[in-house]
Structure formats: structure tokens, C-alpha cells
Structure 1
Amino acid sequence: MFTPYPSERSRDLGERVEAFVREIVIPYEKDERRTSHGPDHSLTTELRGKARAAGLMTPHILPDGSHMTQLETAAILKRSGLSPLGPVALNTMAPDEGNMYLLGKVANAGQKRRFLEKLVSGEARSAFFMTEPAAEGGAGSDPSMLQTTAHREGGEWVINGRKAFITGAQGAEVGIVMARTGTGDTVQATMFLVDLPHPAIRIECLIDTIDNSMPGGHASVTIDNLRVPDDSVLGEVDQGFRYAQVRLSPARLSHCMRWFGSAVRAHEIACRYAVTRQAFGKALIDHEGVGFMLADNQIDLQQAALMIDWCARELDTGSMATTESSMTKASVADALFRVADRCVQTMGGMGLSRDSIVEQVFRETRAFRIYDGPTEVHKWSLAKKIKRAVQAAAQH
């Protein structure tokens, strides 16, 4: 199901990553340290120790700190996702992967030494504090609804607000807080870097969600008079939304890469089951109702792989790839959920059982249709662009 390697260095790393996940990581899928809010600190540390020993920690970031191309990264991250624990072990998971990318692009030298280096080494995790409670009218898919505020007081910034569904907040050591700054009718935002844990950032609870692959779960958080100095500002004041766009398209795409690997794994398991399981005098796969589902899976997976690579190539040209990443996120998320759903259906009761990782892949890919923008928001954005293009053409 994987597309050809784009380079020799990606081939070398990709083959090593795949072997590591299949041989070392997959046996941990039965580990009792996998909790309802993600693998605990002990399991995460143990897995990362093994990745570090194998020379595979954060494999898509090169020793000099530069990134592989997005197309090369796709070849690596797809394979890291062959187990839900793969990205945790290899430090290619969300939100850290996206946060490392953002810091690499925007942070100054001092911030990189203080925050980025320990993320790249896998010694620390991070959290991105943007989403807010819907009941309070806070920001979700529409970031302009941002309610958390930051204002200058003396030589410091004072930040107040509430955040929701903050992935990885529990146990994170690096925080990126998005807060409303600026004045007037135009909503502006600034990003702030914060050492965690911090007494002014209080985790109210971990939200019980359908997925459980990410360490630290998804937290509701109160930020109460958080005081930070000017050197905590990431980039420039009032440029938070612009920096979010820097992070957004690559982060959307890396979600597609990782979950693609999980869907490939589920398909492999379902295919083996369908070939070996007998019913009504023949193997399940010989019944068209089952065989056709697996054929549809193969089609969806191939199309998803090609869309991921297409968007990666566009990002590698230097484009923000906003349209391409929306198209890819909407298409791939829905396709991978169809794949996982067919795997469950093929396996019947075994597909519903947590004795098989297929059940978790189904839950994770369902959540994927919401994370980093619901499918409907991406389609709405694309429809607006279609409308503008038609109106512009009509004026000429």
C-alpha cells in the first residue's frame, strides 16, 4: 500500500522504522500501561528508550536540525503509524510533531535551545493551547472566536482564559498558548511559550474521548493570571494566526500520514482473517460481500497514499498548500474511516474486540475526521474558494 520511496535516505530510514514498529513496538499493544487517556509516562519513556537505542528517535529531523522534505517525511510517518504506539515511540506524534515544525520555523535561537531541543530529543512532550470550550463561545474550528486574552502589565504579559481538548497537556513540559491580543474590531492573536507544569495553568480534568493513542489525553484547562516575560512571545506580537497557518497544513498532512499507516495495518489484519476464516463452506474472502469490501479498501488506501504524496510535493515547493491540505485532510480522513469500518465488518465479533488493534484503529480514525478540522469545515472552506473563483472569472 505504500508508495515508492522518494529518495535513498528515506528508503533507509523507512525500512528501519517499519521493522522497528513491527518487531519492537507492536508487542507493546497489549501492555497494561496503555490507559484510556493514552500510554502512560512509564510506557512512553520505555518505548522512546528503545527508539533512541535503535537510532530512530525523531527520524524525520536530521542531525543538523533540518527537516527531511515533506515527501520524504510522508514515507517515514506512514510507517511509524503501523501501530498506534509507533508515533509515540518514534516522536512523530501529534501535537509534538507539529509543534517542533512550528518552533523550527518561528522560534528564535534562545527559544530553540530552551524548548525545541528537548522536544526533538524526545526527552519532553508539548501541548498547543488553542481550542476553547464551546459552551463559552470559545474558539474551535473558527479561531477568530478566541476568548483567552493576553495584555501587557508592567514588563509582563498576563494571560487568562479556559482551553478544552488540549492534547498531551498532562505531563507536557513545553506549552504554546494562543491568546487574543490587539485592540479594535480586528481579532489578533499572539503565541506564547511556557514551561510546564505551571501553577497558573491548571488541568481541570481529562476528557473521556473515543480515542486513546496520545500520551496525556485531552484536557480541559484553566489559565489564571499566567504571567510571562516578553521573551516568551513566539515570533512577533499579533501574528499568532499567521503562525498557526505555518503549522496548520503540515500538521494536517502528518495526521494523514500516521493514520494511513494504522489503516494499512488494520487492512492487513482483516485480509488475513478473511483468507483463513471459513464460513458456509469457503473462506470469507471468497464471498463477494467480503471480498469486495477488501477490494474497496485497497482502492481507498491507494488513493489516500497518492493524495498525501501530492500534497507533500506541493508543500515542498514552498507553498502554504492551504487548499491542497484541506482537500487531502477531508478526503483521506473519510477514506481511512471507511477502510477501518470495513475491517471491523469483515472481522465480525473479532473486529469489535479489543483483542485486535483493529477496534482501536476504528476509533482513532473516527476521531481523525474531527481533529485538525472536521471534514465539513474543510469542504465549506473549499466551497468558499470555488465561489470566489467563479465570481472573479465573471468579472473579466
Structure 2
Amino acid sequence: MSTGVAEKTQKTVGGIRRKFAPWTDPKAVPLIRYQNVTKRFGSFTAVEDLSLDIYEREFFALLGPSGCGKTTLMRMLAGFEEPTSGRITLAGQDLVGTPPYKRPVNMMFQSYALFPHMSVWDNIAFGLKQDGVAKDATAARVEEMLKLVKLEQFARRKPHQLSGGQRQRVALARSLAKRPKVLLLDEPLGALDKKLREETQFELMDIQMELGMTFLIVTHDQEEAMTVADRIAVMNHGKLVQVAPPAVIYEQPASRYVADFVGDVNLIEGKVESNAGGLVRVHAAAADMSLTIAQDIQAQPGDAAWIAVRPEKVRIDLDPPADRSVNCVSGTIWDIGYLGDLSIYHVELADGSRIKAAKPNLTRMVERPISWDDKVWISWSPDAGVVLTS
């Protein structure tokens, strides 16, 4: 087989947003480095012995539930908090002890914090004027920022005369006007409605790539992190649980916590029966059968294990599948959620446990729709799930 054909047929984990992966290059030098950073507030440890590298031009996301330490991690980079121990460096410079206004970073807050008595133009120009930038240079930079966020016609309006999305753009333009090395985004889209939030996510991505800047975003919204980020750091109780591109986080979670926190998932508990040749067989008590997963994993027969399979990878039918190589189990429809583009089916197995299956609604009319109390067969291929041992 030629190299070209091999490249075309090679399988990868999910798609990628852009060909940008300096973290895979051992020669690449990180722009930001957290080295064994710990932050305590009295007896409470917000961040515990954490080390993390972030690269230039990367759109990086800190993702986790409230109280996991993600905002504290960002505030230490901004200079609003100092680490109890450890080092934080930016472009090789140790930031510990450097006041916020002397750091080459800027922060965009969830509340936007715009000056209500100033126009859009003056809000964007504020930081430049504070730094003593010449009038001509300030005017040119403000015009550049207005064009970047598509608000040229709103330059003389006050914040109260703008929509929520427009205010968000003004705050972004003000944060970018000083051309920081790193832009910090603290839940920046939380105040927007769902549709506008989705549109703004793509605008943020376009602006970040156009400027070639490093963006660090803090969010508890898994979908937002998956959309905008080159890499995601999933946090829990002040520690990093997994750091990887979105597709790897979703398709190859490192633990049950990651699998359950990012997206929807079925977790089927069992014990490893065999592990050889890239195939792991797990006996699942819920299904009372052996399930096969195509995966290379360090596990021994008898080890506790969980099969994680996403609902959209589970096929649901009224008849048993013809393909005998798939994992298959029967059950009864317990509940149905119609979401327009797809339907979510909750299938109850013989032992009372439930598995979710997602089925896209490809046509408006269905000859024999699956309904409540129907006996159904759910199945998934060996490469659709992963085996987790922690």
C-alpha cells in the first residue's frame, strides 16, 4: 500500500478544528507554565500541586464544575491571587510577585464591567489612554478593534443602548486593544442566550485565529469548551484529571469522572474476562453477558472495569441485529425524549438498569416508530466504547 493510501485510510480519534498541535512536539517551548502550583485559602486547598503547559496561539479551556479550582488557576495567572507554592511563568518570566497591571495579560469578565457613562469608542480606548498611548495611535487601534468585532456603526452608543451580544463584543474589543500576550476569558458567554452563545463561540474562534493570540477560557459548559478549544483541561477538586484535545476527551476519557462530566454516557459495570490482541472482554452483570471492546489497555482478568459508550453510538431496533460481531442486549422502552433532531430512548434491561440510545430523526414520517413498552434490541460495535478501570 502506498503512503498516500495509508494516510487516507488511517483512523484517528474524532476530527480536529485546525492543524495545530505544538504539545506533540518535544522541542516546542510553552508560553505559559504552571509548575507544581498550590493555592490554599486557609484550610481549603483550591489548587493542589498542579503542573500545566499552554502554548503560544493556543485556545485553551479550563473545564470543570463550580469549586474545582479553574477560576483560581486563571486568577493566579492574571495576578489577582498569588500561589501558596510553585511557579507560574509567561514567556520564561516568573510572574510571582508581579502586580496585575505589569503582566502582559488581559482579562475579560463574565459581567463585562463596561463603563456605563462612556461610549463604545471610549470604553475600548480606556486602557490605551491609561497607558499614555498617543492619540493617533489610540484612534487607529480603536478603529481596528471596532472593525474586528463588527461594531463600527455603534461606536458612539452607550452600553445601555446595546444588546447583550454587542456589549460582550465591546468587552472583547477593550480586552484586545492593548494587544496582550494572553487573553483570559472568565465565563465570557454565560450571560448570552443559547443561540447567541453558539454564534459567539465561532466568532471568538475566528478572532483568536485571525490575531494569532493565546486565549485561555474558563467555563463549566462542556459544549462551549468542546467547540472553541484546541485543548481542554478537565479539573476536579483542584487537580487536573485529563488534558487533551476535545475529540480525545470525548472519545477516550481517562476516567469515569471525565466520561460522565463531558457529554452524555452509559457506564456499564463489570469485570475483565480477557485482554489480548487489542480486544477486551468484560462480563457485565447488568446485561448478564460478555461485551467486547476494541482497545489496548493495561488490565488483568478479574479487574473491575466500566464500559463507557455514548448514546449516539448505541443503535436501537425493534429486531435483533444481523451482525453477530456487535455487542447486543435486549430491553424494554422505559422513556423517550423527543429533541427534534434526535430522540433519546431509555431502555430498561432485565435487572432494572437502564441504557440510553440516541437515534437521529432523519425523516418526518416513520412507518413503525419505537414507542413506550416496546421490546427493543440495542447494540454497538466493539470500537464504539472504551473500557475504564478508574
> How would you bin the TM-score normalised by the shorter chain?
under 0.3
> Higher helix proportion, which one?
1
- TM-score normalized by structure 1? 0.26
- TM-score normalized by structure 2? 0.26
Higher relative contact order (CA 8 A, sep 6+): 1
Point out the structure with max Rg over C-alpha.
2
